[in-house]
Amino acid sequence: MAHHPAWEEAEVLARDAGHWRGPGLSWSELTAAADNALPGGTTTDRDTRLLLLLPALGDADLPLGAGKRLAACLRDRLGAAQPGRLATFMLRRQGMAGPARWSGDARGVRVNDGRYSFRNPENRDAMPDCRLAQLSAALNPAHTGTPRWVCPNAVAFEAVGPSPVPPRPVPAGPSARDGSPL
């Protein structure tokens, strides 16, 4: 789950039990969330946060240092006997959903091609476009643009800074992927 102070409730990124869904995070988003040190989570330790967020990972284009970073976390936090081998295995499998390809548009909205991902706009249970934009802005520390995002039932809002996110609207009933009523 991801949460921002301006949101009314947390956003489900992935689910690892029951009717699982995912992936929810790319590697760059996972490390940004692990490293942000914002209060309110279960821990402020960046290695522990990375391990807790790891089940939401699904990224087919991992950077070269991903295995080393994960191996260090596994060694330092869990005392893994062979952290390099374990990290390689974990990054190859990447949870229930497996790896996905990520892409972004000119506004910085990141989506993936995961068959069961809430962040794949082709899925019937995908997040509405405005929530995908809000989530992308919150998870992208490099975002510096000033796009204007408007969600149904929410006020217009200027994006300024790394995490510009308006409150998430609560739909009155079933809605289409773009947030409009069915």
The model's pLDDT over 2-59, given as tens digits with 9 standing for 90+, comes to: 777 777 778 888 887 767 788 889 999 999 888 886 666 677 889 999 999 898 899 9
Contacts of 35 (CB under 8 A, 6+ apart): 46, 49
pTM score over 0.85: no
Mean pLDDT of the chain: 77
Q: Is the N-terminal amide bond of 166 cis, ω within 30° of 0?
A: no
pLDDT tens, position by position, 59-69: 999 999 999 99
131 in Cβ contact with 3 (< 8 Å): no
So what's the pLDDT on residue 41? 65
123 φ, ψ (degrees, to nearest 5) = -80, 145
Question: CA-to-CA distance for 133 and 142, rounded, in angstroms?
Answer: 14
So what's the pLDDT on residue 153? 39
Is residue 140 scored above 60 in pLDDT? yes
Residue (of 111, 145, 159, 130) closest to 13 by Cα position: 111
SS3 state of residue 82? coil
Higher per-residue pLDDT: 152 or 126: 126
111 φ, ψ (degrees, to nearest 5) = -135, 165
SS3 state of residue 16? coil
